[in-house]
Amino acid sequence: MAAGDRFGAPAGGALVLGIGNVLWADEGFGVRAVEALHDAYGLPESVELLDGGTQGLNLLEPLVSHEAVLVLDAIDFQLAPGSLRVLRGREVPAWAGTKMSLHQQSFHELLAIVDLQGRFPSKLTLIGVQPERLADFGGSLSECVRARLPLAVELAVRELAAWGFPAQPRSGRAPQRLNAEALALESYESGRPAESEACRIGDARFLNRRHTLESR
């Protein structure tokens, strides 16, 4: 029995997965991109849109349950900030291993697991952006990265159409949000405290304590 047969074939359909941490500036690109896709387009029922956040290995089941997987994320391609790059198939794991954060390493491990199990997606595409700013706790997307959201959505729509999952532009607002209202970009930014009121590089209590200990 082949490795893939032990677990059964994926049910089919496509998964659009936004990965990232909206608390760390451009790290939130993948989440913001999948939100923008959901807000702008209606997709067939066979397409699942998912805010994967920083769930890492918890995304195993959604990943192996679909025949085609489209990932949106911030990647260090060593390019100019805001640059977009599209990778397909076996190109993706190689780049996943060079990402920058804990959640990204988990996604690399996730791809390794599904590959070992013989359940690597039949179609896998990554649309990645080169981040400009990461060390800004509570920060939003930098201007050059935010400006790439429309193109990232357009590229995602093209990829889905090529896979046989055509998107239809919405005539009004999406019937419901993809994730919690508090995570909406507008709500998130309007509730963000000023830099003078909040530490932008992490938890000030922890940083002050560390500084005290190191000074002894």
Beta carbons within 10 angstroms of residue 147's beta carbon = 11
Please say if the pLDDT value at position 3 is more than 50.
no
Quick: pLDDT tens for 83-126. 999 999 988 876 665 555 444 557 778 888 888 889 899 999 99
Q: What is the pLDDT of residue 182?
A: 65
**Residue 72: helix, strand or coil by DSSP?**
strand
Quote the CA–CA distance of 65 and 88 in Å, as a whole number: 19
> What are the structure tokens assigned to 137, written together?
């706790």
Amino acid at 177: R
**Residue 46: helix, strand or coil by DSSP?**
coil
Quick: pLDDT tens for 17-31. 999 888 888 999 999
Quick: pLDDT tens for 151-201. 999 999 999 999 999 999 998 877 788 776 767 676 666 666 666 766 666
Q: What is the pLDDT of residue 7?
A: 45
Residue-number span of the structural domain to which 199 is assigned: 3-173+181-215
As for how many domains the chain has, the answer is 1
